[in-house]
């Protein structure tokens, strides 16, 4: 008799719907800022994700990655695994630029397209990708970039 051991996979999610509805990029920006440490927003890049249900109510906020002064990692598989686990139907990707400019880089454009393609395959709607700082934001959706 073979004695094979297999790791048990456990998935847990304890939903709490935050009674906040995302109506536009400005409301997304305000919500993102409320979850950001404003003491570090100008020091290093971070990526966070807002997860929403069909009614566009916020169901969760996830700190995806922290990086250096000029970059960080967006792991699409990890992001989407969390979306699936939380039964999110919509997501908003948010990351900060420690500098004052908010113009998206080629890497920002590429990851947005990669994420959108992956989301489309899973019937999850990528509502927006925001680049933020303390004073303002850049919205991919508002600029028609996807």
Domain that holds residue 46: 25-139
pLDDT for res 5? 82
Judged against a pLDDT cut of 60, whether residue 16 lies above it is answered with yes
Tens digits of per-residue pLDDT, 29-72? 999 999 898 888 888 999 999 999 999 999 989 999 998 888 89
Per-residue CA distances from 16 to 47, 52, 58, 91, 105 (Å): 22, 11, 9, 16, 35
CATH at 71: 3.40.140.10
User: Does residue 75 lie in a domain region?
Assistant: yes
User: Does residue 93 lie in a domain region?
Assistant: yes
Q: pTM here?
A: 0.89
């Amino acid at each position: 008799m073979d004695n094979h051991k297999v790791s048990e996979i456990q998935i847990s999610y304890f939903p709490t719907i935050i009674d906040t509805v995302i109506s536009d990029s400005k409301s997304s920006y305000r919500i993102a800022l409320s979850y950001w440490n404003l003491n570090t927003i100008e020091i290093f890049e971070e990526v966070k994700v807002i997860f929403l249900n069909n009614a566009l109510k916020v169901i969760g906020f996830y700190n995806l990655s922290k990086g250096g002064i000029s970059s960080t990692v967006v792991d699409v598989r990890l992001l989407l695994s969390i979306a699936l686990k939380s039964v999110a139907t919509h997501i908003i990707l948010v990351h900060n630029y420690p500098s004052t400019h908010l113009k998206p880089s080629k890497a920002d454009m590429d990851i947005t397209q990669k994420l959108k393609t992956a989301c489309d395959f899973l019937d999850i709607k990528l509502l927006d990708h925001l680049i933020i700082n303390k004073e303002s934001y850049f919205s991919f959706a508002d600029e028609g970039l996807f």
